[in-house]
Structure 1
Amino acid sequence: MEKIRIGVSACLLGEKVRYDGQHKHDSYITGTLGQWFEFVPVCPEFELGLGVPRETMRLEGDPENPRLVTGKTRRDLTEPMLAWCSRRVKELERENLCGYIFKSKSPSSGMERVKVYPTGGGMPVNKGRGLFAHAFMQHFPLLPVEEEGRLNDPALRENFIERLFTLKRWREMLAEDDSRAGLVKFHERHKYLLMSHSIPHYRELGRIVADVKGKRLPAVQAIYHAQLMEALRLRATIKKHVNVLEHMAGYFKRQLGPDEKQELVETIASYRQAHVPLIVPVTLINHYVRKYQEPYLGQQYYLKPHPTELHLRNQVF
């Protein structure tokens, strides 16, 4: 499989570009994710030409519009950094990125909860966003983004990676079958994946697909894309997953014997009660899909939205 290109803070890849001449290598990113993703490294401070090592920096002033100031010499780097950010995000348009992993707490690359210090002194508030992270998210509002620290949360990690793979499939559809039929097929194959995040969004996306006749297809695709990414940002919960699993179980009412039906009901109940991870009922349904050759479920990405080797559905919540 062609690797998915994502941007990553360079220090997380082991590059010694931090203010102290060190790195913050993240082995999960380079090891586990590296099997499936191709990384485009970015370090705002280093690329701005500030050198390694360099003075520490911090955000000051209004959390909604902070200044970037060096710690000792009090040099205000806000304008040079903003100008660089404006150029860099335009350059990144050529990289065909599907997402980005930022370095947490960084005054340039922190995605959220970055410390912002009052101008006149005092205690900081954790309400800021790094200048580059802010520029990137404004320029690419539909791209999935995360911080390396938040990837330690299994639910956030799965949500992020699921969005990356879905976006890759979306782009492949546009490249291979840029037609109304291609859009319909994409929506059908993502039915249960969408339902696991938001039934209202799934229904709205269905209306968009059904109402495409007589409209400019690129405009419809743009609306669908935006709604798709908005839907997938919503957390998939146990309750939502159970609803999907029960819908899928209904496809086997006639094929399953009494023992198989009971096993499936009990397995879904065990997942509902958080006794087993999601991979257990999903594996059982996949087994029945193959055994009874259920064609509609066989094409549903919900049953395999990302490589099994990533172990994203193996946690009990």
Structure 2
Amino acid sequence: MEKTEIIIHTKLTIGVSACCMGSPVRYNGKGWDLLKNLGREKNDFRWCPVCPECMAGLGVLREPIRLSGGDGTKVWTGDAEVKNRKGEIVTNKVIEGALACIEALSRAGAIAYVYMDGSPSCGVYRTTLKNTNRGNPPGVFGAKLLELGFFLIPASDLQSPLKWWDWRRRLLAFYWLKNVPLDSKNQLYEAWYKTKFLCRELNQEWTQNIGRNLALIVEEDVKEFGDRFRKEALDLLRKPSNTKKITNSLWAQYSYYKKLQGKSIEEINAPEIKRNVTSIAKELLLMERKAHEDKVFFGTSPVLYRDKRSN
């Protein structure tokens, strides 16, 4: 097995709440262009903006809506309602709008979605922005995104270079693992090895258990084991890391690189060196580039996107 990073040339499609892409489609006619924070990296993806409230026909400007009687999941089962500020029931319209957006994302081939938390439609962990009140999460559209297994990215994290780097590396690994064949023990072992450093950062115990069990399986058990491994690993890759874990992983992988190549990268700092998240993100991008150039496997970020035209 070649111990180098995985290069994909497929430009992934990411769905995004249209108000986060600068479209003035919120109930009050406002929106924010949060994708501008990604700089040139924005062009590494295709974006599919949707707005379930607009597709519901509620229009702009419109009365704000709220969930009544339960969360968005219960709206789909008929056990909760959606009302606007005037008390009018708009449940069916919002459901139709959410379904129209899901259809658009399906046609676009989107596997991920950047959601606006705090929205009763797009929200996943909050459906209101009032003080510390979480409302009734998930929202109507958010509930459907969760049900369908989308890789979900909170829009607020696009403003942090480090958080975006974390989401991006996990999304690329998620896409690769979702599609890679796992029909033999060798394929299983390669998939585990390529993702184990990232998964170990996210959940060390689970990763070690998979490694131990993988060594014991026989060929007739490969499919069952592979299905379980893929599902559990994809669930794990949806969950964010944190600054401490990321900087420790960076240093461990850099130490491996330095030992293997016999050379240092001055800009890479030890975990105990205090610096801001922007500086850490720059170090990670530099480490990715250097490892790629020197054909060293940077397991912290195992899957990279490269445009074929630039290679």
Q: Could you say which residue in structure 2 is the equivalent of 1:159?
A: 166
TM-score by length of 1: 0.71
Aligned residues: 286
**Residue 45 (structure 1) shift:** 1.4
Do structure 1's residue 132 and structure 2's residue 141 form an aligned pair?
A: yes
- Given that 1:48 and 1:81 are in contact with CA atoms closer than 8 Å, whether structure 2 keeps it comes out as yes
Q: Indicate the larger mover: 223-232 or 177-186.
A: 177-186
CA gap of 1:254–1:6, structure 2 versus 1, over 3 A, is closer
Instruction: Give the secondary structure class of the aligned counterpart of 2:10.
Output: coil
**Residue 286 (structure 1) shift:** 7.3
Correspondence for 1:103 among 109, 116, 126: 116
RMSD of aligned C-alpha atoms?
A: 3.9
Q: Deviations over 1:226-268 (max 9, x none)?
A: 2223333151443564367347635765874xxx6xx689965
Q: Could you say which residue in structure 2 is the equivalent of 1:69?
A: 83
Q: Could you say which residue in structure 2 is the equivalent of 1:38?
A: 46
Rounded Cα–Cα distance in structure 1 between residues aligned with 2:49 and 2:287: 40
CA gap of 1:228–1:50, structure 2 versus 1, over 3 A, is same
Instruction: Give the secondary structure class of the aligned counterpart of 2:89.
Output: coil
- Given that 2:17 and 2:49 are in contact with CA atoms closer than 8 Å, whether structure 1 keeps it comes out as yes
Do structure 1's residue 190 and structure 2's residue 203 form an aligned pair?
A: no
Rounded Cα–Cα distance in structure 1 between residues aligned with 2:51 and 2:260: 58
CA gap of 1:184–1:48, structure 2 versus 1, over 3 A, is same
% identity of equivalent residues: 21
Structure 1 regions of 5+ residues with no counterpart? 118-122, 309-317
Structure 2 regions of 5+ residues with no counterpart? 1-8, 75-79, 307-311
- Given that 2:11 and 2:45 are in contact with CA atoms closer than 8 Å, whether structure 1 keeps it comes out as yes
**Residue 164 (structure 1) shift:** 1.2
Alignment of 1:1-317 (within 5 A): 1-28=9-36, 32-62=40-70, 65=74, 67-72=81-86, 74-82=87-95, 85=98, 89=102, 92-115=105-128, 125-129=133-137, 130-140=139-149, 143-174=150-181, 179-207=184-212, 209-210=214-215, 211=217, 213-215=219-221, 217=223, 219-232=224-237, 233-239=239-245, 241-242=247-248, 245-246=251-252, 249=255, 256=262, 269=270, 271-275=271-275, 277=280, 280=283, 283=286, 298-302=296-300, 305-306=303-304
State the structure with more CA Rg.
1
Runs of 4+ in 1 over 6 A off after TM superposition: 263-266, 288-291
**Residue 89 (structure 1) shift:** 3.8
Instruction: Give the secondary structure class of the aligned counterpart of 1:51.
Output: coil
Amino acid at match of 2:274: A
Amino acid at match of 1:191: K
CA gap of 1:150–1:286, structure 2 versus 1, over 3 A, is closer
Instruction: Give the secondary structure class of the aligned counterpart of 2:13.
Output: strand
